[in-house]
Each structure stands twice: as C-alpha cells, then as structure tokens.
Amino acid sequence: MAEHVPAEPQPRIQSVSRTGVRPRTIVIGLGNPLLGDDGVGWRVADEVEALLRGARAAGRPIPDVEIERLGVGGLRLMECLTGYSAAILVDAAEFPDRPIGEVRSCCFDDLADFAAGHLDSAHDASLRTALALGRRLGADLPDDIQAVTVQAHRTDEFSEDLSPAVSAAIPVAASAVVEMLVAGAR
C-alpha cells in the first residue's frame, strides 16, 4: 500500500494564534485514511495546512485557524467544535448521481442527516443531533458550520490509496476551504 507521508516533517498550524488567543475557526478533515476514499478529508486538511504555511512564509496574511484530522462523528465531533465561532468540515460524500471527485461546498445545515444510518456505535448520535443536544446544554458551539465534500465511491475498502478522481479533487477542495477561510476573516 502507498503511504501518505509528507516529504519532510512539517510543523502543524498552531492552535493558538500569535496573539495568544485561540483561533476562532477550526478546519476538520474527517474520515479514515485506511478506508480508501474515506481518507480524503485528511488529505485535504494536509493540503490546506501546506497552502497556509506557504502563504505565511510568503508574508501574506492568513487567518488564525486550527486544523485537525478526526475519525469520529456525533458527540465526539461536537465536543471538538466547542469554543470555536466557525468550523469547516471536510469529508467524503456518497450522494446519488454525482460524479466521483466532484467538490461541493455548502452550509452544514443544508446537508441531509444521513449519518443516522452510518454510526460507529449505537451509543452515538448524528452530528446534527449532537449539535442540538450540545446547544440545549449550553455548549459554546459555532453558529457558522460549513462543509466541503468530495464525491467518493470507495469508502469501505481497506486501502490507503484514494481513487484517481478523488485524489485529483484534493487541490480543488483545499482551495475551496482556503477561500472560505479568507472570506470569513474579512
């Protein structure tokens, strides 16, 4: 199996900004990098990190952001969103009648709640349910949650490789995330 390893160790985008204040935005690449196309969220997070690092090295202003990679959903994902005013979730999607590799951006609220049929545990909840519960309990959750999805087709095969069309979509999805970050920083 091909291994996804950066050419050289790179520092992570820091979770505390230069002002010592927690960033207001978090980008979370979701999925499992050992399940084929399901790992695209992590790869997009890697690419976003590289784009932001390059912009910072070139002296361009970049928004303060934390970038994470997670293989969890529901209640655990909701906990990870606590304390941020904005979030961008990047994940593989399997919508009917969409071309493999298609990148779509939307508000999280515009997505159907398909997670109820794809939970890791009977004791978990979909993210939509977890967010509603967290808000009712007073959790400090972002009002602005955006999603960037990459249409995939192999999300349940053990492989570290992405299909060619999904792999080709990584730069497009990463650019969409960076555009959202820049627009949100204005």
| φ/ψ (deg, to 5) at 163 | -65, 155
Domains (range + CATH), the chain: 25-185 (3.40.50.1450)
Q: Identify the helix (H) or strand (E) that includes residue 145.
A: strand 144-151
Query: Alpha-carbon distance 108 to 126, whole Å?
Result: 13
Q: pLDDT for 58-71, tens place per residue?
A: 888 888 899 999 98
Are 166 and 108 within 8 A, CB to CB?
no
**What integer best gives the mean pLDDT of the chain?**
81
Q: pLDDT for 72-130, tens place per residue?
A: 888 888 988 999 999 999 999 888 888 999 999 988 877 766 554 444 554 567 788 88
Are 25 and 84 within 8 A, CB to CB?
yes
How far does the chain reach from its first CA to its final CA, in angstroms? 42
Model pTM?
A: 0.80
